Amino acid sequence: MSDNRFTDTRDRYPTRLTEPSDPIPREEPTVWGQESAGPLFETDLQSIEANGYLVQRSAVDDNWLSTLRGELNNIGAKADPEDPRIIREPGGSIRSVFQPHLFSDVIAEVVTLDTVLPVARQLLGSDVYLHQARINLMPGFTGTGFYWHSDFETWHAEDGMPAMRAVSCSISLTDNFPYNGSLMVMPGSHKTFYPCVGATPRNNHTSSLVKQEIGVPSQATLTEAAARYGIDQITGPAGTALWFDSNVMHGSGSNITPFPRSNVFLVFNSVENQLVAPYRAETPRPEYLAARDSQPFNIPSLVQ
């Protein structure tokens, strides 16, 4: 991985602009490792390279699922109302909990499962660390969605992530139906960077985590992208892992069904893609949203 185009920290993906700007073709690969380097097969690697996402059933088993659901309830019950890592819906219910692995050793252990860490390393072709971890909770009836966005757009602009060499693993703790706010993805959109209009306000994260308004493409851009790529809806039973590229366009609707939707969401970044100063924000976001220490906690297999 000595190709220095990809360790270059220049701003190759300008965003948060004053005027609309053309889409930028992606330079980096999506898959950095080989079949021989990990658990995924060549067909899986080709699928995530082409679509920007990959669904793996039974990434965690039923025992794990019930333990994890218990941990979720504990975190909710013990939540300190002043803790900035706990993001609430306007109505008061918990929407996200950041750094759940620091609230719960069981959640920390999920990172090290054979269905998780080796996959992240294989996809990114290097050692990895946790850039961000969160639990997302979408309760029945009141859970609200996430508007269309590319995660990389935010991580580049607000966190100083230089290259598209990060991948998210979302492990569902509940069944995902087409109708309970399951994720929508534009397959193939990860190969294009869509610059967004609008400067980053100071402390944007205090509102963006409830409702993202900056760093989202215009309706015209989304109309074009949806016509080009189509939209896949990701469904599957609890325990399914969804791997998705940092730059794939995705979002979710609200959940007005009685069926809650929750997931553990782990973002792995390559150790060769360490954060620099934010490209389009005055100050970096807090550590709980974007780890600047690439060895943020002591899981030996993560820090070798």
* Interaction site with Fe ion (CB under 5 A): 151
Residue partners of 40: CB distance under 8 A and separation at least 6: 48, 54, 119, 122, 123
**Contact status: 200 vs ligand 6CS (CB under 6 A):** no
Figure out which of the listed residues 149, 156, 190, 191 binds ligand 6CS, where binding follows CB under 6 A: 149
Of the pair 151, 159, the CB lying nearest Fe ion is at: 151
Q: Which is nearer to ligand 6CS, 124 or 183 (CB)?
A: 183
**In the structure, how many helices (H) and strands (E) does the chain have?**
8, 13
Q: Which of 86, 215, 222, 234 is nearest to 169 (CA)?
A: 234
The least distance separating ligand 6CS from the CB of residue 85, rounded to whole angstroms, comes to 13
Radius of gyration of the chain (CA): 18
CA pair distance 269, 154, nearest whole angstrom: 14
Task: Provide the mask over 45-64, with x wherever binding to ligand 6CS is found by CB under 6 A and - wherever it is not.
Answer: --------------------
For ligand 6CS, give the closer residue by CB, 47 or 96.
96
| Of 30 and 212, CB closest to ligand 6CS | 212
Query: Least distance to ligand 6CS from the beta carbon of 289, Å?
Result: 6
* Rounded alpha-carbon distances, angstroms, from residue 114 to 38, 150, 168: 10, 27, 16
Classify residue 209 by its DSSP letter. T
When asked if residue 146 is in the footprint of ligand 6CS (CB under 6 A), the reply is yes
For residue 192, give the H/E element and its range.
Answer: strand 192-193
Nearest CA to 49 among 27, 32, 25, 36? Answer: 32
Q: How many CB atoms lie within 10 A of CB 281?
A: 22
| Footprint on residues 267-296 left by ligand 6CS (CB under 6 A) | 289
Please list the residues that pair with 270 across neighbouring strands. Answer: 128
Nearer CB in complex with ligand 6CS: 107/267? 267
Judged by CB under 6 A, the residue of 122, 136, 200, 212 near ligand 6CS is 212
Q: Which does 144 bind (CB under 5 to 8 A by kind): ligand 6CS, Fe ion, none?
A: none
Q: Given candidates 126, 208, 252, 274, which one binds ligand 6CS under the rule CB under 6 A?
A: 208
In the set 47, 154, 269, 274, which binds ligand 6CS (CB under 6 A)?
154
Cβ closer to Fe ion: 153 or 272? Answer: 153
What count of other Cβ atoms lies within 10 Å of the Cβ of residue 102? 14
The secondary structure of residue 282, as a DSSP letter, is S
The conformation of residue 52, written as its DSSP 8-state character, comes to S
> Which of 28, 71, 151, 245 contacts ligand 6CS by CB under 6 A?
151
DSSP string covering 32-43: -S-GGGSSS-HH
Stretch that binds ligand 6CS, among 73-81, 146-154, 217-225, 239-247 (CB under 6 A): 146-154
Token output for 173? 């703790």
Position with the least CB separation from Fe ion: 151
Residues forming the site for ligand 6CS (CB under 6 A): 132, 146, 149, 151, 154, 208-209, 212, 289
